Amino acid sequence: MTRKLLVLLVSILLLSSCASRDKLRYYQNIEEAAYAESLTYNPMLKSDDLLSIIVSSPNAEATVNFNIASYGVGTSGVTTGQTTNVSPIQTQYQSYLIDNEGYIEFPVIGRLKLGGLSRKSALELIKSKLKVYINDPSITLRILNYKVSVQGEVNGPGTFQINTERVTLPEALAMAGDLTIYGRRDNILIIREVDGKKTYNFVDITKADFINSPFYYLSQNDVVYVEPNKARMNASTVGPNIQVIIASLTLLLAIYTIYSRNN
């Protein structure tokens, strides 16, 4: 009888620990989603974006007033005996913070409203303003504080600086060490600011069609939250009392064994 009871307890534990394969696999039905029309990604500029804007032209002198260095080019070095090892200091240019109204203050031109524009539209606007002063201007624009945050059931949660201005949801999850076994893959929350308002959406990465959704590419300052599954939530309740439960079961089993032998 005791042996049957032990077999029953082990069976219950094994059945309760089984998980559906489909709840863990990513990109199911990839054959259908991979050939769907993909979205073109073009980041939108927002308030509090810190921009690097570098102007260039065949006539380098014409761009001087538009590229303000935060400090000049110089040299630094260490003297050893009679020899000085000299290394150049890289020039850094002024950055531009988009204010709450969406404007930056650009040299010579003055206030420019870039907030709410796509990166492509912002480049076209700056170029049109510069043509008054420079023939054939070329502009390089980068978001310097592009970052995303990943929280919840991942192996390495945190805020990650992005250098490419384009990052996908799978890439952000990979930066955070991927989901733990307790993370829900079918209900990942993405919090995003659009036109000054917080929005949210849930993404199911077990279904491959999410790669064609507006949330496949993340936007600057997006927050990704991986919700814990039922096993994790149940464990958080049972966890503090697990030793008491095990001790109680052991005691009951011992009492039952003694009782069985005496009868």
The pLDDT tens digits along the chain (263 residues) read 555 555 455 455 444 445 555 666 787 877 666 655 656 678 899 999 999 999 999 998 999 999 988 654 444 444 444 554 545 556 678 899 999 999 999 999 999 999 999 999 999 999 999 999 999 899 999 999 999 999 999 999 999 999 888 899 999 999 999 999 999 999 999 999 888 889 999 999 999 889 988 899 999 999 999 999 888 777 766 555 555 666 677 777 777 777 677 76
List the beta bridge partners of residue 143. Answer: 51
Per-residue model confidence (pLDDT) at position 143: 93
Query: Measured between alpha carbons, how far is residue 87 from residues 52, 80, 84, 167 in Å?
Result: 24, 14, 10, 34
Q: Which residues contact 38 (CB under 8 A, 6 or more apart)?
A: 211, 212
Question: What residue segments make up the domains of the chain, in order of their start?
Answer: 1-42+146-263, 50-70+91-143
Secondary structure class of 8 (helix, strand, coil):
helix
User: What pTM value is reported for the model?
Assistant: 0.71
Q: Are 78 and 124 in contact (CB under 8 A)?
A: no
Distance (Å, rounded) from C-alpha 187 to C-alpha 29? 17
* Residue listed under structure tokens 């009951």: 252
DSSP code of residue 179: B
Q: 1-42+146-263 and 50-70+91-143: same fold?
A: no
pLDDT score for 258:
75
Q: Say what the pLDDT of residue 27 is.
A: 76
Fold annotation for 50-70+91-143: wza like fold (3.30.1950)
Give the CATH class of 1-42+146-263.
alpha beta
SS3 sequence, 149-169?
A: EEEECECCCEEEECCCCCEEH
Q: What is the pLDDT of residue 9?
A: 53
CB–CB of 204/186 below 8 Å? yes
Query: What residues does 168 pair with on adjacent strands?
Result: 217
Q: How far apart are CA 137 and CA 100, in angstroms?
A: 28
